[in-house]
Amino acid sequence: MRNGWILLFAALLAACEQQPRAPLYLPSGENYPEKLSGWGVLQQRDGQLQPVDGVLPYDLNTPLFTDYAHKLRTLWMPQGSSAQYGEARFDYPLGTVLSKTFYYPRDAQGRLQRSEQRDAEAIELEQVRLIETRILLRQEQGWVALPYVWDDAQREATLDWAGASFDLELDGERGEVLAIDYQVPDANQCAGCHEEQAGKGVQPLGPKARHLNKDFAYADGAANQLLRWQTVGFLQGVPAQVSDLPRNARWGEARQGENLQAQARSYLDANCSHCHNPEGPGRTSGLYLDPTTPLSIAYGLCKQPVAAGKGSGDRLVDIHPGAPEKSVLSFRLHSTDPSIMMPELGRSTSHREGLEVIDRWIASLVGEC
């Protein structure tokens, strides 16, 4: 009889562990969960890390490069609330939780792989190494950025205000091995990168109309993300024709109607414009790489850089038409010197494939400086 009670208790305990907790609503205060599971937006089930019911995965047309890390992005809003559509940015309700989990695929021998990502609603835990999950929380005082670092067993992630670092090796498709110094940003660095408008605090960078306006491969079939957000009640005010809304190009695999310039500008938007826009922290440089700035001196064409000498590679202009080897922009994107490279955070290596697009675009430009 005693063994029967033990078995019953074990079964009940297992059943409880399989029940995900409801996402945490925290519109104010600083009692942030120490463990990622405390947010209730992700669960480990059937060998996967996946969003709980009511939490929506999403992806971007062209994402920020982060040392070849793959990313699972999710969104949750309190029941009965929704974001208001805006072409430049959305107005998110209190309690909104955005999560982004960084990971690397690995082969049967456990070696990490360097590859480009495809849409995914979940992560197969036996096939990846989890690194970190970042939470963005909308509160009364504004957005809060919280970094969580995964344990070696991939069972839980813990809030780490100071960030962390990992020495990793990635196997490339050509057999080469790439050593990277992966940096989990501390909370202040998270906030610094997400301050898209100087002095106005943290803001989401990825989930905007131009980045989200694409189909996502949901379990029940592909659908436009803006329309799916509207259908589930997460977004209101979406114009009727999403085909007429802003849409960034895909940097790597152009869709119909997306030319090389659209790909390059989309890449620069995703990787640079959070600082380099007329209101951003990089505004004093006079270099604006946001999508609303025309291809002009403000976008870097024949523009003399603020930095000189080492910071410019002794190159005279930010973008020299026809000559990436004479362009400061190309020099700083290729550099891995922390005192030179752009972006300043989020990478320890250069993005070879992405920079091939940038250099081909600069080489295609016509004109003289």
Give the residue-averaged pLDDT of 277-295: 94
Domain final residue pick, 242, 270, 285: 242
Q: Is residue 10 part of a domain?
A: no
At residue 253, φ and ψ (nearest 5 deg) are -125, 95
Q: Is residue 250 part of a domain?
A: no
Domain final residue pick, 192, 214, 242: 242
**Residue 321 pLDDT greater than 90, yes or no:** yes
The pLDDT value given to residue 199: 63
Say whether both 215 and 285 belong to one domain.
no
Say whether both 236 and 280 belong to one domain.
no
Q: Provide the edge-to-edge strand list for the sheet that holds 164-171.
A: 112-113, 164-171, 177-184
- Total number of domains in the chain: 2
Q: Is residue 13 part of a domain?
A: no
Say whether both 45 and 86 belong to one domain.
yes
Q: Is residue 95 part of a domain?
A: yes
Q: Is residue 9 part of a domain?
A: no
Say whether both 197 and 236 belong to one domain.
yes
The four Cα atoms 14, 20, 22, 27 give a dihedral, to 10 degrees, of 110
Give the residue-averaged pLDDT of 22-26: 91
| SS3 letters across 89-109 | CCECCCCCEEEEEEEEEECCC
Residue 344 vs residues 32, 122, 147, 275, 341: alpha-carbon distances, Å: 28, 30, 18, 10, 6
The pLDDT value given to residue 344: 86
Say whether both 32 and 93 belong to one domain.
yes
In this structure, of 6-20, 115-129, 246-260, 303-317, the range with the lowest mean pLDDT score is 6-20
SS3 of residue 139 by DSSP? strand
Judged by phi (left if over 0) then psi (alpha if -120 to 50, else beta), residue 221 lies in: left
* C-alpha triplet 60, 270, 306: angle, nearest 5°: 175
The residue whose two tokens read 């038409």 is 321
Closest CA to 138 of 197, 73, 227, 76: 76
Longest dimension (CA), the chain: 89
Give the residue-averaged pLDDT of 48-63: 97
Say whether both 236 and 300 belong to one domain.
no
Q: Is residue 3 part of a domain?
A: no
The pLDDT value given to residue 201: 77
Domain final residue pick, 242, 275, 309: 242
161-216: pLDDT as tens digits: 999 999 999 998 888 999 999 999 887 777 667 665 556 678 999 999 999 999 99
Give the residue-averaged pLDDT of 36-62: 97
**Residue 311 pLDDT greater than 90, yes or no:** no
Measured in whole angstroms, the distance separating CA 238 from the mean position of its chain's CA atoms is 23
Say whether both 302 and 355 belong to one domain.
yes
Tell me 87's DSSP state.
S
Q: Is residue 1 part of a domain?
A: no
What is d(CA 89, CA 135) in angstroms, rounded to the nearest whole number?
Answer: 18
The pLDDT value given to residue 19: 52
- Structural domain boundaries enclosing 92: 19-242
Say whether both 278 and 220 belong to one domain.
no
- Is the pLDDT higher at 21 or at 112? 112
Kindly report the length of the chain: 369
Say whether both 140 and 31 belong to one domain.
yes
Say whether both 179 and 263 belong to one domain.
no
Predicted confidence band at 4 (pLDDT cuts at 50, 70, 90)?
very low
At residue 106, φ and ψ (nearest 5 deg) are -135, 155
The pLDDT value given to residue 326: 97
Predicted confidence band at 119 (pLDDT cuts at 50, 70, 90)?
confident
Say whether both 198 and 326 belong to one domain.
no
Quick one: what percent of the chain has pLDDT higher than 70?
91
61-77: pLDDT as tens digits: 999 999 999 999 999 99
